[in-house]
Amino acid sequence: MNYRFWCGECGFKTAWGTESVAGRRHEDHYTARHPGLPLGGQVESAAEGPAAGGGLGCAGMAIAVLLLLIIAAACVR
């Protein structure tokens, strides 16, 4: 399982990593960018991190192409 933390104050997201590594980056970001503020934002988890996201992206692309073909076929009729 990989994790990344989203900053609650700005659009920053940590790189994917283990929960402890990503959490430390999150803390580092707050220390550098938002000193004095409590840690906020949200955590995102993925079974295989960016690889899983990439796989999903490819599936999404395939579905989009399929939908375009269906729309194109409907238009021809």
State the residues that interact with Zn ion by CB under 5 A. Answer: 7, 9-10, 12, 33
Whichever of 7 and 22 has its CB closer to Zn ion, that residue is 7
What is the smallest separation between the CB atom of 24 and Zn ion, expressed in angstroms? 15
Specify whether the CB–CB gap between 9 and 41 falls below 8 A. Answer: yes
What is the smallest separation between the CB atom of 70 and Zn ion, expressed in angstroms? 42
Nearest position to Zn ion, beta carbon: 7
Q: Which residues contact 9 (CB under 8 A, 6 or more apart)?
A: 30, 33, 34, 37, 40, 41
Whichever of 17 and 77 has its CB closer to Zn ion, that residue is 17
User: How many whole angstroms separate alpha carbon 66 and alpha carbon 54?
Assistant: 18
Whichever of 39 and 46 has its CB closer to Zn ion, that residue is 39
Tokens of 67: 């939908």
